[in-house]
Structure 1
Amino acid sequence: MAKSENLRQKENYFMKLKNKIKAPFEGGKNSRFKIGINKFAKAILTMIAILPVAGLFIVVGKIIGPLGFGQITSIAKVANHIGTIIETIGWMPFRHIGLLFAIAIGGSWAKNKAGGCFAGAIAYLTLLSVGATFFVTRTGTDGTEFMNYILGGRWTNQKDYFSNQEGVYSLRFDALGGIITGFIGAGVYNKFFAFNRLPNALSFFNGPRFVPLMVIVVCLPIAITLSLFWPLIQTGINVIGKNIALNNKIPFIIPFETFRQGY
Structure 2
Amino acid sequence: MAANTSQKVTLWEFFQNLGKTFMLPVALLSFCGIMLGIGSSLSSHDVVTLIPALGNPVLQLIFVWMSKVGSFAFSFLPVMFCIAIPLGLASENKGVAAFAGFVGYVVMNLGVNFWLTAKGILPTTDAAVLKANNIQNVLGIQSIDTGILGAVIAGVIVAMLHKRFHNIRLPDALAFFGGTRFVPIITTVVMGLVGLVIPLIWPVFAAGITGIGNLINSAGVFGPMIFGTGERLLLPFGLQHILVALIRFTEAGGTMDVCGHSVSGALTIFQAQLSCPTVHGFSESATRFLSQGKMPAFLGGLPGAALAMYHCARPENRHKIKGLLISGVIACVVGGTTEPLEFLFLFVAPVLYLIHALLTGLGFTMMAVLGVTIGNTDGNVIDFVVFGILHGLSTKWYMVPVVGAIWFAVYYGIFRFAITRFNIKTPGRDIDTTSSAERALAGQVGKSGYNVPAMLAALGGAENVVTLDNCITRLRMTVKDMTLVDSAALKNLRAIGVVQLNQHNLQVVIGPQVQSVKDEMASLMSTAQA
**Could you state the TM-score of these two structures normalised by the residue count of structure 1?**
0.71
Residue of 52, 58, 74 corresponding to 1:94: 74
Deviation at 1:256, TM superposition (A): 1.2
Residues 203-236 of structure 1, C-alpha deviations (whole Å, 9 max, x = no match): 2111111111101112222221113333564466
Pairing 1:67-216 to 2, within 5 Å after superposition? 67=45, 70-71=48-49, 72=52, 75=55, 77-112=57-92, 113-135=94-116, 136-137=121-122, 138=124, 144-147=127-130, 155-156=131-132, 161-200=134-173, 202-216=174-188
Residue matched to 1:63: 41
Distance 2:113 2:270 in 1: 23
Do the aligned residues in 1 keep the contact of 2:111 with 2:194 (CA within 8 Å)? no
- Provide the rounded CA distance (Å) in 2 between the counterparts of 1:43 and 1:214: 22
Task: Between the two structures, name the one with larger relative contact order (CA 8 Å, sep ≥ 6).
Answer: 1
Output the CA distance in 2 between the equivalents of 1:222 and 1:172: 15
Distance 2:12 2:210 in 1: 32
Distance 1:193 1:175, change over 3 A: same
Q: How many residues align?
A: 227
In the alignment, which of 250, 256, 261 is matched to residue 267 of structure 2?
256
Q: 1:130 to 1:83 in 2, by over 3 A?
A: farther
1:96 Cα deviation after fit: 1.1
CA distance in 1, matches of 2:272, 2:207: 15
Q: SS in structure 1 opposite 2:168?
A: coil
DSSP 3-state at the match of 2:86: helix
The yes-or-no answer on 1:20 pairing with 2:3 is yes
Over the aligned positions, Cα root-mean-square deviation in angstroms equals: 3.3
Q: Secondary structure at the match of 1:169?
A: strand
1:54 maps to which residue? 32
Deviation of residue 51 (structure 1)? 2.3
| 1:94–1:260 Cα contact (<8 Å) kept | yes
2:98 and 2:267 mapped to 1: Cα distance? 25
Contact 1:123-1:219 within 8 A present in 2 as well: yes
Per-residue CA deviations over 1:70-96 (Å, capped at 9, x if unaligned) read 554993654443333212222221211
Query: In the alignment, is the contact (CA less than 8 A) between 1:44 and 1:104 conserved in 2?
Result: yes
Partner of 1:152: none
CA contact (8 A) 1:129 1:168 kept: yes
Q: One-letter code of the match for 1:39?
A: N
Q: Aligned to 1:196, what secondary structure does the other structure show? A: coil
1:230 matched residue in structure 2: 202
TM-score, normalising length: structure 2: 0.38
Aligned equivalents of 1:87, 1:100: Cα separation in 2: 19
1:257 Cα deviation from its structure 2 partner: 4.8
TM-aligned CA distance change 1:66 to 1:226, over 3 Å: same
Q: CA deviation at 1:69?
A: 5.2
In 2: Cα distance, 1:232 partner to 1:177 partner? 12
Question: Which letter does structure 2 place at the counterpart of 1:114?
Answer: G
Q: Which amino acid aligns with 2:270?
A: F
Q: Check the 8 A contact 1:69/1:75 in 2, yes or no.
A: no
Partners of 1:56 and 1:218 lie apart in 2 by: 38
Q: In structure 2, how many angstroms separate the alpha carbons of the residues matched to 1:40 and 1:52?
A: 19
Distance 2:138 2:125 in 1: 21
**CA drift at 1:173:** 1.9
CA–CA distance in structure 2, aligned partners of residues 162 and 111 of structure 1: 35
Confirm or deny: 8 A CA contact 2:87 2:97 kept in the other structure. yes
Letter in 2 for 1:98: P
- Seen in structure 2, the aligned counterparts of structure 1 residues 56 and 188 have a Cα distance that, compared at 3 Å, is same
Once the two structures are superposed, residues 28-71 of structure 1 have per-residue CA deviations (whole angstroms, 9 ceiling, x without a partner) of xxx43443232122112232222222221221011121245555
Would you tell me which structure has more helix in proportion to its own residues?
1
The code of the aligned residue for 2:103 comes to: I
Q: Cα 1:231–1:95, aligned 2, differ >3 Å: closer, same or farther?
A: farther
Contact 1:69 1:76 in 2 (8 A): no
Supply the distance in 1 between the matched residues of 2:42 and 2:145 (Cα, whole angstroms). 31
CA distance in 2, matches of 1:257, 1:242: 18
User: Which stretch shows the higher mean deviation, 179-188 or 111-120?
Assistant: 111-120
Percent identity for Structure 1 against Structure 2 = 22
